[in-house]
Chain A
Amino acid sequence: MILVLAEQRHGTLNRASSEAIAAAQALAGGMPIKVAVLGESVGGVAQELARTDVAEVLVAEHDALGTYTPDAFTMAAQSIVAATTPAFVVLAHTYQARDFAPMLAARLTTTLLTDVIGINGSGASATFSRPMFQGKLVATVRPKATGPCIVTFQIGAFRADAVRTGGGAPVRTIDVTIDAGAIRQKPEPPFQEAKQAVDLGQAERIVAVGRGIKSQEHLPLVQKLAAAMGAEMAASRPICDNGWLPMERQVGSSGQTVAPKLYVALGISGAIQHLVGMKGSRTIVAINKDRDAPIFEVADYGIVGDLFEIVPALIAELEKK
């Protein structure tokens, strides 16, 4: 049996959890799937989950699950695992899963496979594909522990719209044991740093820049290309970390997720954290000096070369009338 731990916030199901259900369906090989949702009041999410082709939806409601803490969620997940004895526990590789899944694995003394992008075979004998070395290589890995194997799936690796729907799965409340005194973290309400002035999600074209730009002095060159293309300027994380562009222009797992008509990646190697934020773009252009850079795996058009030679040539070409 496969247990999916679905993620919700304020009664809204995380889209990545639908992808996790699709992954569980691909992994199942005849095993029944149960989806558990943890929170304070999650009946609506449970009803939404019941429309998928799963054996059962489990509702774990508790005061201590209203605001996420790794301690409370791990204790709740332990309870559910103990009651259901799954072969696999499946989650989306979200920041929340990254925060508590390793703790759950440690408490259960079991295997955790993270950031999985593919399943080879199905059922108990399945092996899993996951990126390594910043996406330069893909590893096929096999779980070794005898306990339930916990697997987190990379966002976008499976499609949410590929989830098979069913005839209305039964929804059942499941009791979880949480020792409130054992919750060590005290969370404050989430907030956004500043009102985002740029909504990259609405941009039709984006020119994004990465480490290859080398220094802040070269940014006007990128700006000029963006202007010539009628594009917004964006960046990978290191550029924003250096303060060369504001954080609100960051594309990737910690920044914005975009899917413009045209995405031009300049000097961006294509770390997974960046790719998840832009690989849904309709047309992707990569310009990079490293032919083996992972960005070329998602690119429709690629130029291998020095961006300091190619970008001025592109600007000149675009300004030709």
Chain B
Amino acid sequence: MKIAVCIKQVPTREWQPRLNDAKTWIREQDAAFEMNEPDAYALEEALRLREKHSGEVVVCAAGPTRIQQVLREALARGADRAVHVEDDALGSADAAVTAEALGAAMADEKFDLVLTGLQSDDQGHAQTGVILAERLGIPHSTIVMEVQINGRDLRVKRELEGGWFQWIAMPLPALLTIQSGINQLRYATLKGIMAAKKKEIRKVAMAPGLQAGQEIVSLALPTRSKQTRLIDGSPAQAAQDLVKRLREEARVL
């Protein structure tokens, strides 16, 4: 089994948004980055499938030099090698460009299975995986919560809305977008971190002439849809004020 996992590097959850001067992207120099959470689950699933079916896990990512951090981390967690489509323009690229860039770099590898997170915590397009499947000419399923492989047959449990699920069968090769919570994540061991230093990160130039599907005209902090009453004071004072308001103003207690 030759398994690819596409990962993305995104700002950490604690990151406080700051914009560049043109207000078209974030001030990257202020941001700390980490592996996109659903992608971490996709990586874990790939490692578990390799344990069961043997083979190789190749982690693939498209982005500027900074994304080496998450590639190294994936190698430390157990991926065998990495492919880095490197270009500064990929840091803020849309899903169409990211998928095309990955597709061009991955096509020759003939992966049996491609996994990625269901969406990224930065731009959140939730389309890169599916477009990549099209570019690789393979079937896909999205928002996957369980993966079963029997020879060349793949069967996956797809999450539907409102607590419903559905099993879907398809042949390999295929691409799956993985939902957070499909498994329990492992973290890198010291041994893994040491071993990762010797693993290969193959750099690939971005394919020329990729067309973006959309352009960010501007970024802004969201406007509040509601007037929030912020309650100050010590915990005891705030609690007293809130309970009073919930009883007398909102009348919900």
Which residues on A are within 8 Å of B, measured CB to CB?
69-71, 94-95, 98-103, 105-107, 110-115, 127, 130-145, 184-193, 196, 205, 211, 229-230, 237-238, 240-242, 247-248, 253-257, 261-262, 269, 272, 282-286, 290, 292, 294, 296-306, 309-310, 312-314, 316-318
Which B194-253 residues sit within 8 Å CB-CB of chain A? 211-226, 228-231, 235-236, 238-240, 242-243, 245-246, 250, 252-253
A69, A237, A299: the one within 8 Å of B180 (CB): A237
Establish whether residues A297 and B226, one from each chain, have CB atoms under 8 Å apart when the complex forms. Answer: yes
* 12 A–B contacts from the bound complex (CB under 8 Å): A102-B126, A112-B125, A112-B127, A130-B124, A186-B170, A192-B165, A261-B252, A292-B17, A294-B222, A297-B226, A316-B239, A317-B236
Measured as residues with beta carbon below 8 angstroms from the partner, the interface class of chain B is 35 or more
Establish whether residues B250 and A262, one from each chain, have CB atoms under 8 Å apart when the complex forms. Answer: yes
Task: Considering the complex, give the chain B residue whose CB is closest to the CB of A100.
Answer: B130
Q: Which residues of A contact B240 (CB under 8 A)?
A: 313, 317
Report how far A292 CA is from B228 CA in the complex, Å: 12
Q: Which residues of A contact B250 (CB under 8 A)?
A: 262, 282-283, 300-301
Is B116 an interface residue when CB atoms closer than 8 A count as contact?
no
Establish whether residues B215 and A141, one from each chain, have CB atoms under 8 Å apart when the complex forms. Answer: yes
Establish whether residues A98 and B143, one from each chain, have CB atoms under 8 Å apart when the complex forms. Answer: yes
Which B42-62 residues sit within 8 Å CB-CB of chain A? none
Establish whether residues B231 and A302, one from each chain, have CB atoms under 8 Å apart when the complex forms. Answer: yes
Is B134 an interface residue when CB atoms closer than 8 A count as contact?
yes
Given contacts A190-B165, A241-B181, are A297 and B246 in contact (CB under 8 A)? no
Q: Which residues of B contact A310 (CB under 8 A)?
A: 235, 238-239
Is B169 an interface residue when CB atoms closer than 8 A count as contact?
yes
Beyond known contacts A139-B216, A297-B222: 11 more, CB 8 A cutoff: A102-B95, A105-B127, A105-B213, A107-B134, A111-B214, A112-B127, A137-B19, A191-B165, A191-B166, A301-B229, A313-B236
Establish whether residues A296 and B239, one from each chain, have CB atoms under 8 Å apart when the complex forms. Answer: no
Establish whether residues B211 and A317, one from each chain, have CB atoms under 8 Å apart when the complex forms. Answer: no
Chain B: minimal CB distance from A306 (Å): 8
Establish whether residues B214 and A247, one from each chain, have CB atoms under 8 Å apart when the complex forms. Answer: no
Report how far A298 CA is from B224 CA in the complex, Å: 7
Binary interface encoding of chain B residues 4-28 relative to chain A, with 1 for a CB under 8 A from any of its CBs, else 0: 0000000101111101000000100
Establish whether residues A139 and B224, one from each chain, have CB atoms under 8 Å apart when the complex forms. Answer: no
Is B87 an interface residue when CB atoms closer than 8 A count as contact?
no
A95, A113, A186: the one within 8 Å of B160 (CB): A95
Residue from B122, B125, B174 having most chain A Cβ neighbours under 10 A: B125
Establish whether residues B222 and A106, one from each chain, have CB atoms under 8 Å apart when the complex forms. Answer: no
Given contacts A102-B131, A145-B213, A283-B246, are A298 and B166 in contact (CB under 8 A)? no
Chain A: minimal CB distance from B148 (Å): 12
Chain B: minimal CB distance from A174 (Å): 24
Establish whether residues A135 and B217, one from each chain, have CB atoms under 8 Å apart when the complex forms. Answer: no
Secondary structure call for the B interface: mixed
Report how far A112 CA is from B97 CA in the complex, Å: 12
Chain A: minimal CB distance from B19 (Å): 8
Report how far A60 CA is from B144 CA in the complex, Å: 28
Report how far A238 CA is from B17 CA in the complex, Å: 22
A101, A241, A292, A313: the one within 8 Å of B239 (CB): A313
Task: Considering the complex, give the chain A residue whose CB is closest to the CB of B174.
Answer: A184
Establish whether residues A229 and B170, one from each chain, have CB atoms under 8 Å apart when the complex forms. Answer: no
Report how far A187 CA is from B171 CA in the complex, Å: 12
Is B77 an interface residue when CB atoms closer than 8 A count as contact?
no
Is B162 an interface residue when CB atoms closer than 8 A count as contact?
yes
Report how far A294 CA is from B224 CA in the complex, Å: 9
Given contacts A101-B127, A261-B252, are A185 and B168 in contact (CB under 8 A)? yes
Q: Which residues of B contact A193 (CB under 8 A)?
A: 163, 165
Establish whether residues B163 and A192, one from each chain, have CB atoms under 8 Å apart when the complex forms. Answer: yes
Q: Which residues of B contact A257 (CB under 8 A)?
A: 162
Report how far A143 CA is from B216 CA in the complex, Å: 9
Q: Which residues of A contact B164 (CB under 8 A)?
A: 190-192
Q: Which residues of A contact B160 (CB under 8 A)?
A: 95, 190
Establish whether residues B127 and A102, one from each chain, have CB atoms under 8 Å apart when the complex forms. Answer: yes
Is B69 an interface residue when CB atoms closer than 8 A count as contact?
no
Task: Considering the complex, give the chain A residue whose CB is closest to the CB of B37.
Answer: A238
Q: Which residues of B contact A205 (CB under 8 A)?
A: 252-253
